[in-house]
Structures are given as C-alpha cells and as structure tokens.
Structure 1
Amino acid sequence: MKDKRNLHQKVQELCDCFATTDPLMEMAKVPHEADAEEAALKWVALAVLHGVTAGAEKIRISRRSDGTVDVRAKYREAPLRSPGSEIGSKIIEALKHVIGVEGDEGKSPLALGIRDSSLELKVKYEKDGAEEHVTLKFPES
C-alpha cells in the first residue's frame, strides 16, 4: 500500500468519511478508481456501512482460481456488485493484513467506530485450494 499508515485506521477513517452516503451507490464507483489499493480500503468501509444499514448478517468476498471475485451478502442472500478482480484481490489482501493472517485460514474481531457508535465485526479468512474467501460477520441486532 502506498500509504503506510495502519490499514485498520484507514478503514476507520473511510467509514467516518462515507457514513452519510449511500454505500451501494459509492460501491458502484469503486471499480473505476485509479488507485486499486485505496479503492480496496474504500470498498471495505462501504461494505461495513452497507452491512450496518441493510441489516446484513455477513458479507463474503470470494476470489476464484481464475482470478474472478464475487461478493455475497446474507440477509436475503442477495449478491452485491463485484469490485472487479484487481480491487477484489486488494480487498482480500488488505483484510488478511488487518487481521494478521499469514496461513490458509484465520479469524479475528475487527472493532470499528462509526460516528458516535462502535461495531465489532468478526472477520474470517479461508483458503480452499486455489479459492480464497473473506467473510465479514456482523453482530446480531
């Protein structure tokens, strides 16, 4: 990442920055961003905000062996718009870095402050053969 600040802190700042926007509308713009690493962090922040406002149970980002990335949110099992292969790969790498995963699996809580509230997500990384998955699990409301 170009900005060597703590990635967790950067996601936190982006959550605060985009807290009053429409996360889905902003997510649609992410694949067109010039800086894929910055776009990946922005997408994570927007996914968290979307999950909170839409009452998501979890959001799962998957990278297939051919490099394609898809995203699924569980509330009514509706797919979210994919950020594209390049940014999707950066999202997975950034989240692995934030939770400190170095092997084929790991999980960790991720605490985020959003405006005057706080939120603790459970982030899980799994690698199954050539496929990778990162799941953001939201607390029950």
Structure 2
Amino acid sequence: MKESANPHLKVQELCDCYAETDPLKEMSTLSREPATEETALKWIALAVLHGVNSNAEKISLTQQASGTVEVKATYRTTPLPTPGQETGTRILDMVRAITHIEEDKGKTALALGFRGNSMELKIKVKKEKKQEQLTLNFPGEG
C-alpha cells in the first residue's frame, strides 16, 4: 500500500484494505502491536468498518486518567476489544489531528469514502479531569 501523509486519507485507504476482513477479530490483535500512528489509524478504520457492518449507532473509546482504555458499542453489553493504553492515546491524538478538534470538548462531521461508498460520521471528543472520550456516531437508517 502506498504511504499517505494525510491521516484522513490513510484511514480511508485502511478501510479499503480491511473491508473484506473481520474488523472485530482484527481489532482484538491491535493491543499486541506497537503503539504507532499506523496502529491508531488502523484501529479507527476497523472501528468504522465494524460499526458499518454491525449497524452500530455509535462506538466510544474512553481513556481514564490512569491510562486504562475501554471501548463500547451502544448495541452490546460487553466491551469491544481494547487497543491498549499506548495505542488508545495515539487514537485520540490521531482523531484530533484528523478533525482539528483542539479544545477539550468538540464535535464535527467526518466524511469517509471507500469501496465506492461514502458516509458521514459524527465525531465527538470530550476531555475531563479523569478521562478523555472519543465517540464515533454512525449514520442512521433511511
């Protein structure tokens, strides 16, 4: 795959690359990979694919002040696989870089196009004293 300096484009390329895989299975292996920007962008792409494939309403990644990272989807009572502490931090950094949300709280739309389809995610980031949370809100039906 060609290198892309733009993280937004890289997420779209990774969505194309992993579109035929099981995103949840791929996500479960990320905590064992080095915590790099590439790993963070891969997690974002896999979360998008999982959300689309599973008709999720939203997926949230929360990092506590202790560094612990938890991932949840609204339709499940059990958490999704965590990317690990270091990669979780990089995911939050990369989403802020892609969306240009620099304040403690912010939300914006993020257009993604891959495999001939396009969608608009609603991205929300909220940082408080004890935690920072990223929420990917997926488009509804109809």
TM class, shorter-chain normalised?
A: over 0.9
Q: Distance in 1 between matches of 2:4 and 2:115?
A: 24
Aligned to 1:108: 108
Q: How many residues align?
A: 139
RMSD: 1.4
Aligned to 2:95: 95
Amino acid at match of 2:6: N
Residues 86 and 35 (structure 1), Cα distance of their counterparts in 2 relative to 1, 3 Å cut: closer
Q: TM-score, normalised by structure 2?
A: 0.93
- Please say if residues 35 and 90 of structure 2, whose CA atoms lie closer than 8 Å, have aligned partners that are also in contact: no
* Structure 1, unpaired ranges of 5+: none
Q: TM-score, normalised by structure 1?
A: 0.93
Q: Which runs of 4+ in 1 moved over 3 A?
A: none
Amino acid at match of 1:83: P
Amino acid at match of 2:92: I
SS at match of 1:71: strand
Q: Distance in 2 between matches of 1:35 and 1:131?
A: 19
SS at match of 1:111: strand
Q: Mapping of 1:16-95 within 5 angstroms?
A: 16-95=16-95
Question: 1:45-81 CA distances to partner (integer Å, 9 max, x unpaired)?
Answer: 0000000000100000101010110001112343101
Q: Distance in 1 between matches of 2:29 and 2:69?
A: 16
Question: 1:1-59 CA distances to partner (integer Å, 9 max, x unpaired)?
Answer: xx771110110100010011110111112112235221110000000000000010000
Taking every aligned residue pair, what percent have the same amino acid on both sides?
A: 50
Q: Distance in 1 between matches of 2:124 and 2:34?
A: 28
